[in-house]
Amino acid sequence: MKSRRDFLKHGAAVMAILPGARLPKAMASEGNRVAAIAASSGAPQSAPPVPPIIEEIEGSMGPVVQLPDGRFLAVYPWGRRTKEWDDTSIPEYIYGRFSPDGLGGWGERQVLFPFPPGPGAAGQGITSGGALPLVTREGVVHLFGVRFTDWPKGPNPKASEVVKGHCHLWHTTSHDNARTWEPLREIDYGHTYTGALNSSIELKSGRILVALSYHSPTRATGFFVSYVVYSDDAGNTWKNCRSDVTVDCGGKAGESGACEPVLMELEDGRVWMIIRTQTGFLFESFSADGGETWSPARRTIFRASNAPAGVLRLRDGRLVLAWNNEFGIPFRDGISYSRQSLVMAIHDGGIWKGYRELNTFGAGDNLDGYGGMRYPFLAETPDHHVLVAYSEDGRASRKKQQFRAFVDYRLVRVDPRWLLETEAREDFSQGLQRLQLAATSGTEILPGPEGKPALKITKPRADMPSGFCWNFPFGRKGSVKIRLRTEAGFGGVYFALAEAFLTPSNNAGGNFRGMIDADGKVKVQYVCGLPYEDSSTVQWGVDENRKFQLEQGKIHELLLEWNCDDNVGGIKLDGHYTMNLAGLELARGICYLRLFSAATSTDTNGLWVFSLESRSEP
């Protein structure tokens, strides 16, 4: 695989400080450190950033970490399924796969160590990967994981039965780049059941923190509680934090409350905890004493379904965050399990930028139930890209790769410069790979009327939705320009702009919503649930008596503009102002466009889309 070491770090980049966080006194010296790192990089800067590169890897994978010798290691358990926890005839192992530089060349799996004899299941195939690696500044490789006992035996156990089981938190270390390992030791975290492990960090002081969320059956709602264990002696002994971080959400569902936290030490010395919840947002908590006590949880700015985040500090000091920027179907017990849109943002210049999707799903992919992309683990490669390891399921082309019925581990490489772009263009020359199409039909790339590939949207089946969702750089203010042509018999199309992902298989949601009806008239929805209003004929001004209506068979430019600071927007057709857009709900910014067929039956002629262009002001 060809290596890409073409990234020059931003010499003028400022350090990552969270929105609302106190600005530390060391800001000037930190800026000098960042500039020095950038100046020391010999990488060329001629090549522009490219979209994420998906690594097509055969076989199983897991969370990734860079070893002291420069190689990269992916780790995962293999052996008993959770319901086989007491079948001691099945051996269990931790496997590793190595890459010389994280840029490909992943070797075959190797046994790192066997689990000791006795009952227990190490979580083969769980979505978090089942093993959590950490490399400290002393060059020690730490590995954490959970081993299950007393798991219910039924085929589809209820969450209320699962949490009665026991989760044993284990830990081991290697002092020779993962070649040999110390015997496993159990960490007493003071409780019996925890969710997946998603984060362990070493503080500047040398203290090691492991984030977890334990189940509390005595709570009335929000049964999971975020929590931390820490060690001041390189993992030899452990203590439990003195604060429970709770969020009252999720009702009586088993997966409710403050779940699966991740951690990051900030430049001012505080520790930031980012928490999975069921509220439609990630929550956060802060510790000023190295993780011993925590502030009450509060809502972040990040929209999210019931899925955890991943966070990483780059070597130049900036933070990157990956999470599921969505809240929609499927719902279970009133909780959103939408996990189609895994995005990444970078904290640069005091604000979060990007919100860019790392991968998409096609029309043939099945995302029923738990389908989607989730549980991101982040590492930085030698060429200063971010390597994201995540789990997914539902992708039709990857069924044979799944190492369990519903889990497939993927790797994607992201150039941080790509997250800083403020413009995007889609001309469909690369096919459908940048569009979200799951559970739809009738959207395809064909030779277009202009003699080059174009997107054709039809509705071949009355019982199957047709449409797509397109992600572009996040902006408080901005615009999207759509070049399109409707055909004879066109059944209409809805359009929507949103801060969070818009499912392509239905017309729900959206901060700004409008449509082009079957007659070509442009309409806007001003109140959720009410009809779309027509302003196709201008009554005053320079365009008085001008009729704004798309002519079938003619190419038009539809420009959608927004200003989230004022919660308003506007529409221009072929360069002429047409009508206002009104924000149906408040948004911090916009980064998604959805087009969705409005045809009530079939629409075999539909419309052509020749290009999409966005311009955003973060």
Q: 221 near 203, Cβ under 8 Å? A: no
CATH code of 543's domain:
2.60.120.200
pLDDT of residue 187: 97
pLDDT of residue 8: 26
SS3 of 146-168: the string is EEEECCCCCCCCCHHHHCCCEEE
**Structural domain count of the chain:** 4
* Residue whose token pair is 């026991």: 166
CA–CA gap between residue 306 and residue 534 (Å, rounded): 38
pLDDT of residue 1: 35
Residue 445 vs residues 260, 429, 431, 570: alpha-carbon distances, Å? 40, 9, 6, 29
Q: Which of 248, 198, 240, 196 is nearest to 222 (CA)?
A: 248
Q: Which of 286, 287, 386, 402 is nearest to 344 (CA)?
A: 386
Same domain, 475 and 383: no
Give the CA dihedral 431, 437, 440, 443, nearest 10 degrees. -30
Q: 617 near 478, Cβ under 8 Å? A: yes
Same domain, 607 and 546: yes
CA–CA gap between residue 466 and residue 441 (Å, rounded): 5
Q: What are phi and psi of 29, to 5 degrees?
A: -65, -35
- Is residue 412 situated within a structural domain? yes
Is the bond preceding 504 in cis, omega lying within 30 degrees of 0? no
CA–CA gap between residue 324 and residue 518 (Å, rounded): 35
Same domain, 128 and 253: no
pLDDT of residue 11: 30
CA–CA gap between residue 263 and residue 258 (Å, rounded): 14
Among the candidates 187, 222, 249, a domain finishes at: 187
CA-only gyration radius of the chain, Å:
25
CA–CA gap between residue 19 and residue 476 (Å, rounded): 15
CATH code of 142's domain:
2.120.10.10
- Is residue 604 situated within a structural domain? yes
Same domain, 495 and 607: yes
Strand partners, 53: 413
CA–CA gap between residue 482 and residue 550 (Å, rounded): 13
CA–CA gap between residue 420 and residue 13 (Å, rounded): 11
Same domain, 314 and 292: no
Q: In 79-177, which residue ranges form alpha helices assigned H by DSSP?
A: 159-162
pLDDT of residue 395: 83
Residue 183 vs residues 20, 30, 115: alpha-carbon distances, Å? 44, 40, 9
Same domain, 428 and 560: yes
**Count of beta carbons in the 10 Å neighbourhood of residue 278:** 27
Burial class for 406, CB neighbours closer than 10 Å (0-12, 13-18, 19+)? middle
CA–CA gap between residue 347 and residue 285 (Å, rounded): 18
- Residue 71 CA to chain centroid, in angstroms? 26
Q: List, in sequence order, every beta strand (DSSP E) within 325-385.
A: 331-332, 335-336, 342-348, 351-357, 372-380
pLDDT of residue 409: 84
Q: Which 3 state secondary structure label does DSSP give 354?
A: strand
pLDDT of residue 543: 60
pLDDT of residue 539: 57
- Spatial strand order in the sheet of 224-231: 199-202, 208-215, 224-231, 239-240
- Is residue 36 situated within a structural domain? yes
Same domain, 468 and 541: yes
CA–CA gap between residue 6 and residue 44 (Å, rounded): 5
Burial class for 356, CB neighbours closer than 10 Å (0-12, 13-18, 19+)? buried
Same domain, 485 and 608: yes
Enclosing domain of residue 409: 26-54+309-419
pLDDT of residue 74: 95
- Is residue 222 situated within a structural domain? yes
Among the candidates 419, 451, 473, a domain finishes at: 419
- Is residue 8 situated within a structural domain? no
- Residue 285 CA to chain centroid, in angstroms? 20
pLDDT of residue 124: 63
Same domain, 280 and 398: no
- Is residue 12 situated within a structural domain? no
Among the candidates 303, 323, 346, a domain finishes at: 303
- Is residue 4 situated within a structural domain? no
How is residue 261 written in tokens? Answer: 């936290």
- The rounded average pLDDT for each run of 10 residues, N- to C-terminus, in the chain (618 residues) is 31 35 34 37 64 89 95 94 92 96 94 95 69 97 95 82 90 98 97 93 98 94 97 98 97 93 98 98 98 98 97 98 96 93 97 98 76 93 96 76 58 97 97 95 97 97 96 98 97 98 95 97 95 74 69 97 98 93 97 98 97 98
Same domain, 166 and 81: yes
- Is residue 171 situated within a structural domain? yes
Same domain, 410 and 493: no
Q: 130 near 76, Cβ under 8 Å? A: yes
How is residue 431 written in tokens? Answer: 């096919």
Contacts of 217 (CB under 8 A, 6+ apart): 163, 223
Same domain, 90 and 231: no
Q: 337 near 321, Cβ under 8 Å? A: no
Strand partners, 210: 200, 229
pLDDT of residue 36: 36
pLDDT of residue 545: 55
Strand partners, 603: 459
Q: 35 near 133, Cβ under 8 Å? A: no
